[in-house]
A and B are shown apart, each in its own frame.
Chain A
């Protein structure tokens, strides 16, 4: 079974600044995907970014980018130019035959 660990229960960032959310995972599969999901107060789960494990290049989606370190089984999310609308719970997930989530990091954005 896969495990996903998010060691930061809460993070805070000033508007327009950059913040990095950490995630480590463990899987015995060689072919897998990694994701970051955002859950705003509405509780809707929104996909932020995905990374295929076989790709060395780090994924980027506008202000969101990841630092994927396969050997270290690390998958962090960097949010640049933080906006008030980025405030939410962020979940890291690993998918290989099933999908498991970390405990989440609550991000607060200060104006």
Chain B
């Protein structure tokens, strides 16, 4: 158990819908990352937060947004969903954003 909790584990939704993925980092970790992994692909970096502030942004679509709350949990919002958004979405946390990241189990999103 990495200490990072992601909910829900599985999500099935229709095209055009909006979903929210939730992440609780390890106790004491200030930084949260979000990654997207399509089937048999690598991890695409979406966005990183540090202590509530956006720190780095990767290839995140405009239809996607995220935030980190004062209690350090984070949410990733995906809207106007398309079939191609089906993927495993990982959240990871690290103490300072520069050292190793600890990963949650991921949320498997299926858009039908």
| CB contact list, A29-61 vs B, under 8 A | 31-33, 35, 43-45, 47, 50
A33 contact from B33, B37, B92, B99, Cβ within 8 A: B99
CB distance from A10 to the nearest CB of B (A): 11
Which interface class (under 10, 10 to 19, 20 to 34, 35 or more) fits B?
20 to 34
B98:A96 contact, CB within 8 angstroms: yes
A99-B106 contact, Cβ under 8 Å, with A31-B98, A33-B98, A45-B92 = no
> Is A104 a contact of B42 with CB atoms below 8 Å?
yes
A45 to B90, CA, bound (A): 9
Chain B, residue nearest A50 (CB): B100
Give Cα A43 to B107, complex, Å: 11
| Count of A interface residues, CB-CB < 8 Å | 21
Within 8 A of A (CB), among B45-95: 45, 48, 55-56, 58, 88, 90, 92, 94
B111 on the A face (CB < 8 A): no
Contact of A99 with B33 at beta-carbon distance under 8 Å, contacts A43-B88, A45-B90, A45-B103 already known? yes
Asked whether, in the complex, the Cβ of A98 is within 8 Å of the Cβ of B90, the reply is no
Contact B100 A33 (CB under 8 A): yes
A51-107 interface with B by 8 A CB criterion: 91, 93, 95-104
In the bound complex, how far is the Cα of B99 from the Cα of A99, in angstroms? Answer: 9
- Please report B residues at the A interface, Cβ cutoff 8 Å: 33, 35, 37, 41-43, 45, 48, 55-56, 58, 88, 90, 92, 94, 97-103, 105-106
16 contacts between A and B (CB under 8 A): A32-B98, A33-B98, A33-B100, A35-B100, A47-B102, A95-B98, A95-B100, A95-B101, A97-B55, A97-B98, A99-B45, A99-B48, A99-B92, A101-B35, A101-B42, A103-B41
